[in-house]
Every structure is written in C-alpha cells, then in structure tokens.
C-alpha cells in the first residue's frame, strides 16, 4: 500500500527544514548531474542532488543503482547524515516503524525542474522495504503510470499532489507495477521544492570499489576477502607447479642446492609475473570501458567517474 501523510511537522519546523536544506542553507552541498543516454550523449538532469547514508558495521556505505549509475561526470559520494536530514530520518522511522540507510536529497528550483518516469531498482533494496519521499516547499504532482507488462488490476494511471511537509510511502508492489515521475510544470507558478528520498539499501561498496550484499555475487565483505585469498592461493600453486616443471625440464639444475635456490627464485618470479599480467589485463579493460566516456567528458570539461567496477558488478547481477 502506498500512503501519503500530510502535515508531517509543525509549520515552523517544516519551514526550518526547507531553509536548512536549500542550496543557500549551508547544510547540503548539491551537485549538478548528467545522464548518459542510449545515443551516447550527456543530458543535464533537471534538478540538483546530494547523497547521504549510514555506514554499516564494516565501515562501508550502501550503494543504490539507479539512473545515476550512468552518470559519468561526477563521483557520487555518499556522506554521513547532516543534522537536519538525520533528525528527519529518526522522526519518520519512529513514526512508521521502518528503517532507512540512504537518502537522495533532490532540489527542484522551480516548475522547470522535473524527474522522468521510472521505477526504482529493487535489486539493491531490502526485500519488502518502502521508499519514503519527504517533501518540503511547493506542491508537485506525482504521476504513476502502470507498466505495460504489469499484471496488476489497479488503475492504469494515478496522479496526486505531493504537498510540502508531507511523507509519501511507496511500497514494493506499487513500484513493481508502476513507473512514477514529476513532470515539468509552468515555471512562474511554482517555487522551489526539496524531496528527501529515503531507501533501505542492502548492497554495499568497499573503499576499493568492490560490492557486496543483496545485489552482488558476494553476500558479505568476508566473501570478497575469501575470493581474493582463493585467487592468490591458486596463483601460488600454479606458479609452484610451473616452477617444478621448469626445473625438471632443464638438467642444468641437477644439483640439489641449485634446484632449491633457483626453484624459489622462479616461484617468486612467476607469481609476480602472474600478478602483473592480471594487472595489465584489468588496466586494459578499464581503459577500453572508459575511453568513450572520457572523450565525452573531456569535450564537456567534466570530471570522470570510473565505471569499470559498476560494469563488473552488473555482470554478476
């Protein structure tokens, strides 16, 4: 069930939140993001955004894949909660009994700013969790449109207002059957609006760009470490066997002490070569993957976001 709760806070509290979270409120540092379209051009997203989240007990931030996954120009950095957003999160968690660990904070400067029709990617979200949209400022209309392939008997289209100082809860079922979005509306009539979209995400990203959790092949951080260890062990065993083979092949190493010393040196050398070859292959894949994006970004003077890990990640999902 979706649910809209109006008058979430007192009028004074709601105004204070709006002022604190506005770009000139000094709490949120918004970024301008661009999406990469299918025809390989970059399109400015008509809104500003910022990202906040809770670290898990392993010290990693959750990672939610959305359209932003194809945004190359800026690294998306999740920050820890700022005071106003933290207070809001605590408040709605208490009120609903749900928990959230990640927020997209969206600033719509006027009616020209919008959000295209989409449904949220459920892969990274906790099963059965709700998506909470807390709105402040101008009222904007949320459009819900039934997906073509949906088997639900609900209405084909639903439109309703999201007023300032409200909490909208979107459940998994509705998100599965409907796409939603905020259309542009006539510029001069609409003032700014801030939406804080909270999600409960169960996929996490390590500092070196590896993913684990619900939306990854690795369930825990420990699984990643285990896989790395297995790979290293395999590398050492393989190098060892190759060393033994080389020693056996060349009779020059017939003396025992010479066998031992050269064997050890060979083993180290071959292990290093394997590590290097792996590195070269990885670098090459990174290079090819990012070349097209780099060209685009250089043309437009954007920062590059290395997407390699994301692509690698998507392969598993």
Residues lying near ligand AKG in the complex (CB under 6 A): 104, 106, 115, 120, 133, 142, 162, 180, 182, 195, 197
Residue (106 or 293) nearer to ligand AKG, CB:
106
For ligand AKG, the closer of residues 85 and 162 by Cβ is 162
Q: Edge to edge, what strands does the sheet with 211-213 contain?
A: 61-62, 203-205, 211-213
Nearest distance, CB of residue 232 and ligand AKG, angstroms: 41
Give phi and psi for 309, each to the nearest 5. Answer: -65, -35
Handedness of CA 56, 134, 64, 127 (dihedral sign): positive
Closest to ligand AKG by CB, 52 or 271 = 52
Complex with ligand AKG: residue 79 or 117, whichever CB lies closer? 117
Sequence-distant (6+) residues with CB within 8 A of 139 are 161, 162, 163, 164, 193
Residue 5, C-beta contacts closer than 8 angstroms, at least 6 positions apart: 95, 166, 167, 168, 169
Q: Which is nearer to ligand AKG, 23 or 263 (CB)?
A: 23
Sign of the torsion formed by the C-alpha atoms of 80, 86, 92 and 96: positive
Backbone angles phi, psi at 104, to 5 degrees: -100, 125
Distance, CA of 306 to CA of 76 (rounded, Å)? 11
* Nearest approach, Cβ of residue 142 and ligand AKG (Å): 6
Q: Tell me whether residue 109 is exposed, middle or buried, using C-beta atoms within 10 angstroms of its C-beta: 0 to 12, 13 to 18, 19 or more.
A: middle
* H-helix or E-strand spanning residue 308: helix 308-316
Q: Which two tokens stand for residue 139?
A: 């009222």
Q: How far is the CB of 220 from ligand AKG (least distance, A)?
A: 28
Alpha-carbon span 229 to 28, nearest angstrom = 40
Q: Which is nearer to ligand AKG, 36 or 102 (CB)?
A: 102
Q: How far is the CB of 26 from ligand AKG (least distance, A)?
A: 22
Question: Exposed e or buried b for every residue in 72-103, given b needs 16+ CB within 10 A?
Answer: bbbebebeebbebbeebbeebeeeeebebbbb
Query: Which of 166, 262 has the CB closer to ligand AKG?
Result: 166
Which CB sits closer to ligand AKG, 21 or 197?
197
Query: Nearest residue by C-beta to ligand AKG?
Result: 195
CB of 127 to ligand AKG, least distance (A): 19
The minimum distance between CB 194 and ligand AKG, in angstroms, equals 9
Nearest distance from C-beta of residue 8 to ligand AKG, angstroms: 14
């Amino acid at each position: 069930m979706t649910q809209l709760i109006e008058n979430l806070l007192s009028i004074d509290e709601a105004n204070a939140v709006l002022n604190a979270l506005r770009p000139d409120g000094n709490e949120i540092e918004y970024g301008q993001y661009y999406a990469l379209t299918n025809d390989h051009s970059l399109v400015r997203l008509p809104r500003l955004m910022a990202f906040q989240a809770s670290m898990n007990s392993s010290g990693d931030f959750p990672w939610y894949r959305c359209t932003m996954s194809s945004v190359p120009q800026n690294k998306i950095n999740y920050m820890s909660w700022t005071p106003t957003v933290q207070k809001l999160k605590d408040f709605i968690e208490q009120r609903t009994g749900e928990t959230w660990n990640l927020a997209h904070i969206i600033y719509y400067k006027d009616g020209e700013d919008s959000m295209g029709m989409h449904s949220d990617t459920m892969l990274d979200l906790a099963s059965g969790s709700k998506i909470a949209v807390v709105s402040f400022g101008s009222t904007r209309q949320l459009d819900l449109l039934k997906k073509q392939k949906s088997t639900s008997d609900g209405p084909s289209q639903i439109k309703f207002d999201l007023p300032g100082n409200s909490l909208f809860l979107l459940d998994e079922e509705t998100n599965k059957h409907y796409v939603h979005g905020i259309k542009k509306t006539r510029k001069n009539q609409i003032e700014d609006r801030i939406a804080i979209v909270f999600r409960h995400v169960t996929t996490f990203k390590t500092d070196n760009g590896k993913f684990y959790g619900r939306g990854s092949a690795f369930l825990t951080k420990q699984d990643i470490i285990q896989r790395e260890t297995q790979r290293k062990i395999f590398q050492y065993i393989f190098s060892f066997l190759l060393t033994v083979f080389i020693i056996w092949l060349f009779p020059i190493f017939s003396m025992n002490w010479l066998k031992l010393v050269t064997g050890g040196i060979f083993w180290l050398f071959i292990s290093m070569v394997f590590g290097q070859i792996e590195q070269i292959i990885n670098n090459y894949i990174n290079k090819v993957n990012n070349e097209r994006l780099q060209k685009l970004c250089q043309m437009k003077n954007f920062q590059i976001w290395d997407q390699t890990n994301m692509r690698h990640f998507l392969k598993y999902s």
